[in-house]
Every structure is written in structure tokens, then in C-alpha cells.
Amino acid sequence: RMSLGIARRFFNLQDKLGFDKASKTVEWLLNKSEGAIDEIDKGGDNKSLSSVSEVSENKDGQKGFSRVEKMKTAAPTSY
């Protein structure tokens, strides 16, 4: 489940990317986040992935995943 705000952001991204399935959008996000995911693996904290959340708050007070927010360009992967 997603909060309403996150769902809006997710489906807006899906529309921008031109994907017709949520799984393609999730795959795109995972591919774009691979570097950040690798950093978690290298951290050596041995935290479970479900307990790791790096959340930032932007100037409007909206919370979002900081590494995703830093991505300014979207280059869709061809399928």
C-alpha cells in the first residue's frame, strides 16, 4: 500500500515514462536506484532493508526519498 501522496507521485512518474504497467515503473526505479542500494549494502550496518529508510523533507514540507528526489533526469529503458 502507498499513501495518497506517494501514489500520486508514482503514477505521475509512470505517465511521464509512458509505461502501462506498474511493474515496469518499479523496475525503472530499482535500476535508477542501484547505486544507492549498493551503498546500503556497503554500509555494513546489518540493518534489515525494511528498517532502512532515508527520507528527506523538501522546502514545501513534503517528505520523499532523498535519492529519488535528486534524480532530475529520466531516461526510460527500452523494453
Domain ranges of the chain: 4-44+53-69
Rounded to an integer, the average pLDDT of 4-16 is 98
Residues 29-33, mean pLDDT to the nearest whole number: 96
Look up cell 522546502; give the residue.
59
Burial, 21: exposed, middle or buried (Cβ in 10 Å; 0-12, 13-18, 19+)? exposed
**Model confidence over 49-77: pLDDT tens digits?**
555 455 555 555 555 554 444 443 444 45
pLDDT at position 16 = 98
